[in-house]
Amino acid sequence: MRAAALALLLAASACSVAARGVERAPDAASTLADAVVGFTPQVEGAPSAEAVVLQGIAGAQRSVHVATFILTSKKIAQALVAAHQRGLDVRVVADPRLQTDRYSALTFVANQGVPVRANARYALMHHKFMVIDGRDLQTGSYNYTQAAAARNAENVLLLRNRRDVAAAYEQEWQRLWAEAEPVAPRH
């Protein structure tokens, strides 16, 4: 089932499968693109879903725009803060319903100076994606949580050098960001 779903997604992206990733057929207007997939529980010989997310953040050179339902993963929060401290444009838009008075990874990120906004316009702001440098896209079922890394069955897809796909997600991210309210740091 996983293979069929991935094959359908990759076919829709006009990609062909290669050894550990996907290479887009080169043409005069395109650059080499690849995809990295990760699953939780981890599939033998492949990176975990969390590792793929962290790889995407670590490889960013200019920006990481995050749309997420929830953020409780300490590792992902720390990676976002590290990218912000490297001078990258890191911003997070999240669903506000899971924000509580207790300290969370989202609070930690906001307290470290990363701009965070809460989008309460929908029954659930259930997105789970990152647009990286305006050219790479990380998406999938994977919530950025401890539970997703340790207990859930999840998937992640990191598409590199797909400005066309990243641009569509960036447009959605900009829309969500514009209609969201700033989250103030709580020290």
Q: Is 74 a catalytic residue?
A: no
Catalytic residue, candidates 126, 127, 164, 187: 126
Q: Regarding beta strands 89-94 and 63-68, do their DSSP bridges make them parallel or antiparallel, or are they unpaired?
A: parallel
Identify whether 133 is a catalytic site residue. Answer: yes
- Determine which one of 133, 136, 164, 187 is catalytic: 133
Q: 101, 128, 164, 187: which is the annotated catalytic residue?
A: 128
Does residue 84 carry a catalytic annotation?
A: no
Bond into 185 cis (ω within 30): no
Q: Catalytic site residues?
A: 126, 128, 133
